[in-house]
Amino acid sequence: MLTGAPLYRALLHLYPKAFRVHYGDDLTMHFADLVARDGPAAAWRRTALDLLVTVPRYRMESVMTSRRTTISLVSLVVALTAAAVGAFAAGFAPVGVIALVIAVALAVGERSRLARNMRPASREHHRRILRWAAVLGACAVASLAVGLMDLGDRDSWPAGRVIAYNLVFFSTATGALACIAASLRRPHTTTS
Amino acid sequence: MDPSGFLPLPQAQFHVLVALTGGELHGYAIMQAVEQSSSGVVAMGPATLYGTLKRLCQADLTEELAHRPAGNDDQRRRYYRLTSLGRAVCLAEADRLERLVRFSRANLRPKMT
């Protein structure tokens, strides 16, 4: 009887490698059990629908949880923050604001995605995020104050220092905002 | 860890946890148990089932057995069982659903005049 088991084994290559390597034998045996119980037609009806639903989902999860994606997103956030600093320094404030907003949105989105993939946040984790928000916020305020004191009474501001102060201020302010946004997620209580 | 942090459970995860309350099972047996407990309404495909098991293992709600309990069964089959956390989460979800059913029945039942 033609069961299509070799075809199913071949179709398993559509899944991410880690999933296929770990569960490949189980999936193949499961399919063989389905064929033995329900017949090839019914087994394929169930399995085809399953493939259609799960292949894109597991592929997407694999891409979204890869370290490479996180690193490239973090790089993009840093580049956007640097671009915002440059735009502010060059006098294009609206461009800087847009770049900064996109950077914050990306940072918050990535952080939330990672958090969803991890265990529920504990109260201690929540407090730690708030502590980081406070530290980064204090750094941002301090860099702004020092920058204004240093540059305030000069006729022309040296470009190098302006960029340095802006870089410190906007990166710490972005981090503080990201931490505050992340802390808005409801913490879960832990009993242990 | 507080079981309520996992609620509400996705339907597939809850069905798999309920299936494993009967003891240690391999994937195909879990699928059969899910079909039986849902009167055939829930029919999980193989990859959906193993994807769900993967998530449950990552969340420490189930665990893979190092040994194979059934001596005459295929040694390649992977067996799973509930962890103590998984049992607590399953119970918490059952309690949640019970309250929901009680509430909906009370609201849907014709009011006595």
Q: Which residue has the higher pLDDT, A129 or B54?
A: B54
Stretch among A38-52, A156-170, A173-187, B81-95 having the lowest mean pLDDT: A173-187
Beta-carbon pairs below 8 A across chains A and B: 73
CB contact under 8 A, A30 and B4: no
Q: Tell me how far apart the alpha carbons of residues B112 and B94 are, in angstroms, rounded to a whole number.
A: 29
Contacts of A190 in chain B (CB under 8 A): 1-2, 5
Confidence of residue B30 (pLDDT cuts 50, 70, 90): very high
**Nearest Cβ partner for B1 among A33, A46, A190:** A190
Q: Grade residue A190 by pLDDT with cuts at 50, 70 and 90.
A: very low
Query: Which among B2, B51, B78 has CB closest to A190?
Result: B2
At residue B74 the predicted structure's pLDDT band, cuts being 50, 70 and 90, is: low
Supply the pLDDT for residue B113.
54
User: B46 touching A, CB under 8 A?
Assistant: yes
Q: Are the Cβ atoms of A119 and B51 closer than 8 angstroms?
A: no
pLDDT band at A26 (very low <50, low <70, confident <90, very high): very high
Asked if residue A146 has pLDDT above 60, the reply is: yes
Residue A108 is which amino acid?
V
pLDDT at A184 over 70: no
pLDDT band at residue A179 under the 50/70/90 scheme: confident
Q: Which residue has the higher pLDDT, A113 or B83?
A: B83
Span A71-126, pLDDT tens digits: 677 778 888 888 888 887 777 777 877 888 888 877 777 666 666 655 555 677 77
- Percent of chain B at pLDDT above 70? 92
Identify the pLDDT of residue A120.
54
Q: Is the pLDDT of residue A187 over 60?
A: no
Q: What is the band of A46 on the pLDDT scale with cuts at 50, 70, 90?
A: very high
Q: Are A191 and B1 in contact (CB under 8 A)?
A: yes
What does the pLDDT read at residue A192?
Answer: 36
- Judged against a pLDDT cut of 80, whether residue B50 lies above it is answered with yes
pLDDT bracket for residue B53 (50, 70, 90): very high
pLDDT at B48: 95
Asked if pLDDT for residue A40 goes beyond 50, the answer is yes
Indicate the pLDDT class of residue B8, thresholds 50, 70 and 90. very high
> B13 pLDDT exceeds 90?
yes
Half-sphere exposure at residue A92, Cβ-oriented, CA atoms within 13 angstroms: 11
Inter-chain CB proximity A25 and B76 less than 8 Å: yes
Predicted-complex ipTM score: 0.86
Please give the mean pLDDT across all residues of chain A.
79
Terminal-to-terminal C-alpha distance of chain A: 55
Q: Please report the pLDDT score of residue A69 as a whole number.
A: 63
List of long-range contacts for A79-85, beta carbons under 8 Å, 24+ apart? A80/A106, A81/A167, A81/A170, A81/A171, A81/A174, A82/A167, A84/A170, A85/A163, A85/A166, A85/A167, A85/A170
Q: Among A79-83, B5-9, B24-28, B67-71, which is the least confidently predicted range?
A: B67-71
Residue with tokens 């505050």: A180
